[in-house]
Amino acid sequence: MHINTGRRGLIGGLLALGGSALVATPALADTRERRLAFRNVHTNERVDARYYGPTGLDREGIAEINHGLRDWRTGQTHLMDRDLLDLLGDLRDRLGVAPRKGFDLISGYRSPETNGRLKEAGGAHSGVAGKSQHMLGKASDIAMPGVPLATLRAAAYSMRRGGVGYYPRDGFVHVDTGQLRTW
């Protein structure tokens, strides 16, 4: 008996299986609920919202999170990067912080106008990048009550999922989903 191991043989085999090899089964899908809770330190607003559940993305929860992470100076919202939301939740879990306790948000989305003003006001040593990940909805500056900043920084860096900036004098750690780097 000859078994065709070429492309046509593979396609024929998949068709014989009814294409089931091409489709992930629901049992293998990640249906774990994902939520974020945080307090915006500038507006004192609290957010506790689910952004992913058994049926997939939760649009209302995402809208609530995007609003909480908005540029508080201009009021502009932006669709935040889903990988950032996952990173923030996974970081919280890694540190053993209760999901509903959450974190303190210092900065989430930053409009180009706000970013430019901050960079200009701080000069060359402001720590504000001209092409900041904040403007792409891929960064947050955070603190977690009860967690030392050095511990937060170490946990974020150990996850190796993007940039990690350490600002102990300002009381926060920057995390983003850009290239892996630290400062």
Q: In what order do the strands lie in the sheet with 172-176?
A: 56-57, 46-53, 34-40, 103-107, 139-143, 172-176, 163-167, 181-182
Q: Which residue has the tokens 């000069």?
A: 123
> With 0-12 CB in 10 A as exposed, 13-18 as middle and 19+ as buried, what is 74?
middle
Task: Name all domains of the chain by residue range, CATH numbers in brackets.
Answer: 26-182 (3.30.1380.10)
Mean pLDDT, residues 11-33 taken together = 50
Distance CA 110, CA 136 (A): 8
For 132, the token pair is 């900041």
Residue type, 87: L
For 77, the token pair is 């919202």
pLDDT of residue 17 exceeding 80, the answer is no
- Model confidence over 28-62: pLDDT tens digits? 456 789 999 999 999 999 999 999 999 999 999 99
Confidence at residue 155, expressed as pLDDT on a 0 to 100 scale: 98
Distance CA 90, CA 48 (A): 15
Distance CA 35, CA 77 (A): 19
- Model confidence over 93-152: pLDDT tens digits? 999 999 889 999 999 999 999 988 887 886 544 667 778 899 999 999 999 999 999 999
Supply φ then ψ for residue 156, to 5 degrees. -60, -45
